A and B are shown apart, each in its own frame.
Chain A
Amino acid sequence: MTQELLRVDDLHTFIGDYHILQGVNFDMHEGGVAALLGRNGAGKTTTLRSIMGLAPPRGRIRFDGRDIVGLSTAAISRLGIGYVPETLGLFSGLTVAETLRLAARSRAPDRARIDWITSLFPALRKFWHSRSGNLSGGQKQMLAIAKALVEPKRLILVDEPTKGLAPSVVAELIAALKQLTQQSTSILLVEQNFHFAASLATETTVLESGQTTWQGMMGDIARDEALRRQLLGVSVV
């Protein structure tokens, strides 16, 4: 396969006095989609926050051959990692245009790149001057992803993007994320919707109680229902 992009090694994260992550390990390759699965409360969101430096971790995180533990969130972002949190991280008073201009960190963002992003998410073009607080749930999700992409990224971390979206919007999202990987942006995806994850990801890591319990190819877990049930529980179809 291609080159290793991200390696997470024996990650431990404390929030206050709570030992939330207790040994998370996985790696992912350049150009792919990796899924991070697990039951509610398994530590998926905390893992993404640890990578971004928002929940300071102990252990090793190598991104593109470089140790990023201890760097500021902003510095990690500038290395080429985008983050789309579960809560989306939008600014209710700012318009779509203002949000993207801010995310581009430039007064005059690259036209071609904006055009490419709005071709991925046509709704954004339509609501260009609307405040993001007034967008629908699906539009907000698209803006949140677009915001993470305006600056070219090597990797984006996406936390449960399908939550609360209608099936047609989910299909749109799959198409957009697929296009993204063709533009050499890798994706680390946290997802409860197994079908969604399975249709995008090749590599998979399963977490349970803050630890890696399984790592392998998506095909293996997609084919083996017993394994899936054992790792993810019956609640995940």
Chain B
Amino acid sequence: MRRTFAIADVLPIALVVAVCVCALAFISAPIWLNLTIAGVSVGLMIFLMASGLTLIFGLMDVLNFAHAGLITLAGYVTASVYAAMPGWVSSNDLSTNVLIVLAAAAASMLVAGALGYVIERIIVRPVYGNHLKQILATTGVLIIIQQLAIAIWGADLLHVSQPTELKKAVTFGTFFVENYRLLICAVGLAQFVAMIWALERSHLGLLIRAAVEDRESVESMGYEVKYLFVGVFAAGSAMAGLGGALWAIYQEVIFPEAGLQVMIMVFSVIIIGGLGSVLGCFVASILLGLIMNYVGFLVPSAVVACGFLLLLFVLVWRPHGFYPVVRR
């Protein structure tokens, strides 16, 4: 999977830098610095929600709308973990605060991963290669998860606050960053490194691409594709769980359509990044996070539009996205 170094590979990163520099022309330096750091953390938050779908949609070519349901479900699991350990959120001890977030994330990954396993076995396995059936079947799963969430947790907004110490910010003069954003950055970067490592080192990415193109041929080489696909699907679902848990805490609220609301962002960064590319998804997420933060400061009403404009611009510039691993 080694690629030869090319100018074209640097351009997307140059674009991120250019956006930052441009913003500096409109925003005073101290505010710009805070917006930039916040934008990177939002970007990593988006990456955490999107990275699982990079595997499932980008590499395995399954249009999986159930991903939104798993993000929502993770938020509710987080609310339940919070309810089970109330003192941990309000505690003034940082490590206790971090532990409750990690516990919520772990529980969400477990639930989402297990559900992903079941979804693949029952819903997705018969519809590989058929986008229309995938959309219908996985949207059905999404609706079921939403209704189930309403039945269990109710239709009202649930509060999922950021733990006390994580809400506080580190400050250096005029520069400040909340601890929770730092936590997101750390988890996001760890996830990025782990995925690059797993896909490059074990040639998993290569294998998945090959199996999507010609499954029988990969089986004839001695690989059990059935287990490969269900494993990747469960892993991607668990990642949705991680992203969903951290997102709910970031937003401090969870409601039945929460996952659906972020799906446009999630699909956008996968397409902008190039199908199947973890690096592309990562760069695109940060770019979107930065732009959303800058635009949100300058012209708050334009935030929603700027995501679409970015998608449009990138697709005209590079129809296959930044670093396409798969071209469809």
Contact = CB atoms under 8 A, between A and B. Distances in A.
B222 A98 contact: no
A92 interface: yes
**Which of A52, A73, A83, A101 counts the most chain B CB atoms within 10 A?**
A73
Contacts of B206: 94, 98, 101-102
15 contacts: A54-B216, A72-B219, A72-B224, A77-B219, A77-B222, A83-B220, A89-B220, A90-B214, A91-B210, A91-B217, A94-B206, A94-B209, A98-B206, A102-B210, A107-B201
Nearest to B219: A73
A73 B224 CA distance: 8
Interface in A40-99: 52, 54, 72-75, 77-78, 82-83, 85, 89-94, 98-99
10 shortest interchain CB distances as A-B pairs: A89-B217, A73-B219, A77-B222, A83-B220, A91-B210, A78-B222, A74-B224, A91-B213, A74-B219, A103-B221
A103 B222 CA distance: 8
A85 B206 CA distance: 21
A176 B327 CA distance: 34
B206 to A, nearest CB: 6
B221 to A, nearest CB: 5
Interface residues of B, number: 22
Interface of A: 52, 54, 72-75, 77-78, 82-83, 85, 89-94, 98-99, 101-103, 105, 107, 147-148, 151
Nearest to B324: A93
Given A98-B206, A102-B207, A107-B203, A93 B222 contact: no
B326 interface: yes
A101 B223 contact: no
A92 B220 CA distance: 17
Given A102-B207, A107-B203, A93 B221 contact: no
Nearest to B218: A102
A93 B327 contact: yes
B260 to A, nearest CB: 32
B225 interface: yes
Nearest to B226: A72
Nearest to A49: B216
B326 A102 contact: no
A74 B227 CA distance: 11
Interface in B194-234: 201-203, 206-207, 209-210, 213-214, 216-225
A74 B223 contact: yes
B223 A89 contact: no
